[in-house]
Structure 1
Amino acid sequence: MPVPSDLSVTGDASPRRRNRLSPWLALASGLSALTVALAIAYWAWQPATLRIAVGPPGSDDQMLVLAMAQAFDAKGGPVRLAPIETDGTLQSLNLLGGGKTDLAVARGDLEMPSETSSVAIMRRNFVVMWAPSGRKGAGKSKVTEIAALSGRRIGVVGLGDANVTLLRVILAESGVNPQKVSVVQFGTDHIAEMTQDTTLDAFMMVGALDAKVIADTIAATARLRGEPKFLGVDVSDAIAERHPLYESEEIPAGAFAASPQRPDDKIDTIAINHLIVAPSWFSEDTVAAFTRELFAVRQSLAKDLPTARHIQKPDTDKDAALPAHPGAAAYVDGNERSFMDKYSDYIWGAVLLLSGLGSVAAWLRHYLRREERSLNALHRDRLLTAISSVREATSLDDLAAMQRAADDILRETLACHEDGAIEDGDLAAFSLVLAQFHQAIVDRRAVIGNATKADDADLPTERDGAVLQPFAISTAAR
C-alpha cells in the first residue's frame, strides 16, 4: 500500500527555507540598536566648541584667552575655544548681539546686548586718578582732590566712551560740573605723549592694580613732573549705590611702587568688572562645562600669565546688576545637573526608539513566518487525518513508510519552532496529534502482527511436516 498522500512531505516546506531569516533579522536589529547607542554616545561626548570674541590684538585679554584655548585643548575636556579677534570690547559685544559669537570679553559698564549674562570675571579694573605735584623750581599743582578739577584739563587713557562716561559720573557725584572739565583722550600707544603734555593737570587710567602700564605711566609722570598726588573718590559708596555696575573699592598703599611708596596710603576709588559674557538663553550645560574647565585650568595658566590670577566667579546674587548665567551659577552654587538629569530624556528616547525598532522587527519576523505557520498547521492537520489511514493500513511496510513521513514532518516542525516561526502552544498541539498518531501506529502494528500469527497457525509449513512425520512413523512401528 503506498504512503497516503496526506502524509507526503512535498515542496511546501520550501517556504521555511526561503524565509529562514531569523539570524539576519536579529543581526539587523542588533546593528540598529548599536548604531543608535553609538550615535547618542558620540553626540553626548562630543566636545562643544565655543566661539569667544576678544580684543584688541596683543592685549592681555587676547593673550589670556589664547592661553585658555590651548589649555582646554591639552586637557581634552568637554569644551574647546575658538577665539575671534576684534578691535576691542565694543566690537566683541556687537558680535555677541548679532549671534556671531557665543562668548565675549567686555567691561561690565558697557551697554550689553539684551539678555546677556556674566559667566566669569576676568579681572577687576580700578579707577586710578592722580595729579603731578610739580618739579622743583616750578609751581606746585593746586589739584589735590577731585573737587579741584573744575576748569582743569585731564588726560584719559582709552579712546572709547567708557572711561569718559565713568569720569563724568565721578565728577558729577563729587560736585564738579563735567562740562567745566576738559578731557583729552590718549590711546595706549600714546601714553608717552600724555605724560609729556604739561597742559594736563591730572590723569586717569582704568585697569588692574598690577597692570604694568599703570605703574609705568605713574613713574613717568613722577620723573617729568614730580611725585603724583593720588585723587581719592570719596563718594565711591554713593556712586556704587546709584550705579550698580560700579563698585566701591580701595587701592592699597604701595600698589604701584614700593620705594617711594605709591600711593603712600590707601585711597577710595571705583572698580568695574571685566567679564566673560554670554547670551542668557545659551545652553546651561555648555556654559557650566566652560566655567568648570576655566577654573580647573586657572592655576596652571597663572604660572605663565599672572593676569589669570584675577579670574573670579561671577556674582550669583539675584539682584546683581549683571546676573550670572544659569550655567555658571549652577557651577558656582554646586547645583550642576547630574548625568541622568542631563541625558535622561535622550536615554528614554533611545529606549523608546529601540523598543519601536524591536516591535517592527518582531512584526516583520511574524509577517515573514506566516507561510511557515500555515505549513505547520497543514502538517498537523495531515497528521491528524493520517491517523485514520494508519488504522486502515494492511502491512507493516505501509506503517513504516507513514512513520518515516511523520518523522520528516516532526523535523520540519522542530526546525520551525527553533527558528521562532511557531510558538510553544502550537508545538504542544502538534505534540498531542503526534502522540495520537504514534499510538495509532503501535495499535495497528499489534493488530497486523496478531493477524499474521493467526494466518501462520492455519497453514502448516514444511517445518510442521518435518516434525509430524517422524512422530507418525514412530507410532506405526510400535
Structure 2
Amino acid sequence: MLAVGVVLATFYFHSPHATLRITTGPAGGAAERFIAAFVSTAEAEHPRIRFETVSVPNLKASSKALEDGQVSIAVVRSDVAPPINGQSLVILRRDVVAVVLPPGSPIKSFGQLAGKTVAVPLGPVQAENAHALDLILSYFNVSPETVKRVFLPFSEIGLAIREKRAVAVLAVGPIGPGQIVETVAAVAKATKGTPEILGLDENEAIAKRFPGLEDIDIPKGAFKGRPATPDDDIKGVAVTYRFAVPTRMLNAVAGALARSILKTKGKLMALTPLAAEIEAPDPDEKNPILPIHPGVAAYLSSGDQSFLDELQTYLYAIGIPLSLLGSLIAVLWGLFTNRRLAKDQERVFRLLMLADEAPKANADELASLEREFRSSVSACVSNLLEDSGKGDHAPVSLAIEHARRAIENRKTVLAEAAARAHADEKAAISAAAD
C-alpha cells in the first residue's frame, strides 16, 4: 500500500496536463460568455488543467453531448432534456419564470392567459423559455396552443404592450440584473406606470409535478426598487442552469472541480457579473433530476480533504475488490492444479495396470497395450516438460519403467514361445517326411 501511495503521489505531482472538454451553451447566450470567463480563470488557477470548449447549437445538444460521453462537463438547464447520466457539480444561476403584466392588467392568474397573446423576447433560449410557460399552463389545464406567442426583439417589447398586441411578456432571468429587470423597465417606460408580476401560489405543486422547475419566493422589489416591482412578496417557479458531470466521474475529481469553482467565484465575478449567481447544490435535495454528485456532496460536508485522505479512500475501494479477486484466482488455480494432479495420478495408475495386463496378453492384446503405453509415455513426457523443475516426478518414471519392462518381458516370452512352436512344427514336418 505504501508503494501504491508513492506511485500515485508521483503521478499526481508529475502528471502531464489533463484536458477536460466542456460545452459552451447556445451561441451568443449568457452561458457562452460565462464559459469563456470560467475557462480563462480556471486555467490560470490550475496550469495543469486545460479546458477544451465544445460548441453546441442549444441546451438540448449540450445535454446530449454529456450523455454520449463527448464532454466531461456540460452546461444544462434543469427543464431542458436533463442528461440521464448527469449529476450536478454547481448551480450557475437560478432564473425565475416570470409573466410581466402592464399596469392595471385584469389578468390575475395563468388560467386567464387562454386565448391571449404573450410576447417573448428574442434570444438563444427563446424556445426553451416558451416551453417553460407551456409546463405552467398545462398545470392549469390550459392548452399551450390557445396562448399565442410573438417573438420580438427587445426594443419592440414595450411597444407591443402599449399597442395591445400582447397582454403580457414572458421573461426568464435571475433576481437581479437580467432579462426580467430589463423587461420591467421596458414595460414601465412604454406604459408610464408600474408593471406587475403574475404570482403563482401553486408553485410548490407545480415543482412536484414538473421536477425541472423549482418553487421560489420572490421578494418585494426584486426587479425594481422604486416603485417596487413586485409590490409585495409573491411566489413563483424557477429553472436552474448547472454544470453537470457524468455519474462515472471520480469523486475526488468532482469534489476538486466544485471546490475550484466555488473558491474562484470572486475572480469570476470580476470578469462577468453572471458569476454572482454561482452556488453549491443542496446536499439534501431529493430532486431526481440532476442530483448532486457524491464527490461534491462529500466536499460540502467534510470540506477540503488531504491527498492522503483521498488516497486512503481509493485504496480501500481498489484494494478490497483486488483481494477478493486474488482469493478467487487462488481457488480457481487450486482447482486447476488438483485436476492436473488427478490426471497425472490416472496416468500412473494406468501404467501400472498395463504392467499387470502385459504378462497375460496374447500377441494382438500386447500390440494394443504397447500402443497405449507409447501414448501414455508421450503424454507424461509433455507434462514433465511443462512442469520442469516442479514437484516429484519419480513415481511417473518408475511407473513407465515398470510398464516398459513388463511389456518387453512379455514380448520376449511370446517370441520364445513362437520360436519353439516353429521349431516343433519344423521337426514334425521333417519326421513326417522320413
Interval containing the TM-score (normalised by the shorter chain):
0.5 to 0.7
Aligned partner of residue 261 in structure 1, secondary structure: coil
Q: What 5-or-longer segments of structure 2 have no aligned partner? A: 320-434
Alpha-carbon distance between aligned partners in 2 of 1:250 and 1:40, rounded to the nearest angstrom: 47
Q: Does structure 1 residue 149 correspond to structure 2 residue 116?
A: no
Q: CA deviation at 1:341?
A: 5.0
Q: Within the alignment, does 1:94 sit opposite 2:64 as a pair? A: yes
Question: Is residue 122–residue 273 contact of structure 1 (8 Å, CA) maintained in 2?
Answer: yes
Q: From 156, 175, 192, give the equivalent of 1:193.
A: 156
2:173 aligns with 207
1:330 aligns with 2:298: yes
Residues of 2 paired with 1:79 and 1:289: CA distance? 12
Mapping of 1:381-400 within 5 angstroms?
A: none
- Tell me the distance in 2 between the aligned counterparts of 1:306 and 1:341: 36
Give 1:212 shift. Answer: 3.4
- TM-score when scaled to structure 1? 0.58
Contact preservation (8 Å) 1:173, 1:235? no
What does residue 306 of structure 1 align with?
273
Query: Measured at CA, do residues 45 and 316 of structure 1 come closer, stay the same or move farther in structure 2, by a change above 3 Å?
Result: farther
2:136 counterpart letter in structure 1 = I
1:61 aligns with 2:25: no
2:377 aligns with none
The CA distance in 1 between the partners of 2:25 and 2:209, in whole Å, is 30
Give the secondary-structure state (helix, strand or coil) at the position aligned to 1:154: strand
What's the offset of the Cα at 1:119? 0.7
1:272 is matched with 239
Tell me which residue corresponds to 1:108: 78
Letter in 2 for 1:153: T
Residue aligned with 2:19, SS: strand
The CA distance in 1 between the partners of 2:52 and 2:201, in whole Å, is 42
| Counterpart AA for 2:10 | A
TM superposition score normalised by structure 2? 0.63
CA separation in 2, counterparts of 1:44 and 1:346? 18
Q: How does 1:167-246 map to 2 (within 5 A)?
A: 167-174=133-140, 176-186=142-152, 190-197=153-160, 198=163, 199-227=165-193, 228-246=195-213
| Mapped contact 2:265–2:278 kept (Cα < 8 A) | yes
Q: Structure 1's 276 and 324: CA in aligned 2 closer, same or farther, altered over 3 A? A: same
Equivalent in 116, 121, 130 of residue 100 of structure 2? 130
Q: Which residue of 2 aligns with 1:386?
A: none
In 1, Cα distance between equivalents of 2:291 and 2:303: 16
Query: 1:250 is matched with which residue?
Result: 217
Task: Give the conservation status (yes or no) of the 8 Å contact 2:27–2:56.
Answer: yes
The offset of 1:291, in angstroms, is 0.8
What SS does the corresponding residue of 2:66 show, helix, strand or coil?
helix
Residues 90-117 of structure 1: CA distance to partner in whole angstroms, max 9, x if unpaired? 2222222222211011111111232111
The answer (yes or no) to whether the contact 1:54–1:88 under 8 Å persists in 2 is no
How large is the RMSD of aligned CA atoms in angstroms?
A: 3.0
Name stretches of at least 5 consecutive residues in structure 1 with no aligned partner.
Answer: 1-33, 134-139, 350-478
1:41 paired to 2:41 = no
- Aligned partner of 1:330: which letter? A
Give yes or no for contact 1:155–1:194 (8 Å, CA) kept in 2: yes
SS of 1:70's equivalent in the other structure is: helix
Paired AA for residue 41 in structure 1? T
Residue-by-residue CA offset, 1:253-292 (whole Å, 9 max, x unaligned):
1122222222222221101111000111122221111111
1:343 deviates by: 4.0
* Alignment partners' CA distance in 2, 1:165 and 1:94: 18
Deviation of 1:203 after TM superposition, in Å, equals 1.0
Measured in 1, the distance between the counterparts of 2:305 and 2:223 equals 44
Q: Deviations over 1:57-111 (max 9, x none)?
A: 3433222222222222222366443333333322222222222211011111111
State the alpha-carbon separation in 2 of the partners of residues 130 and 293 from structure 1: 37
Q: How much does 1:153 deviate?
A: 0.7
1:118/1:45 CA distance change after superposition, 3 Å: farther
| 1:141–1:295 CA distance, 2 compared to 1 (3 A) | closer
Structure with the greater alpha carbon radius of gyration = 1
- Alpha-carbon distance change, 219 to 146 in structure 1, aligned in 2, over 3 angstroms: same
Does residue 163 of structure 1 match 2:151?
no
Rounded Cα–Cα distance in structure 2 between residues aligned with 1:222 and 1:233: 22
CA apart distance, 1:300: 2.5
Q: Which ranges of 4 or more aligned residues in structure 1 deviate by more than 6 Å?
A: 36-40, 345-349
Equivalent position of 1:340 in the other structure? 308
Q: Helix, strand or coil for the counterpart of 2:264?
A: helix
Contact 1:55–1:62 (Cα < 8 Å) also in 2: yes
Q: Whole-Å Cα distance in 1 between the matches of residues 309 and 220 of structure 2?
A: 50
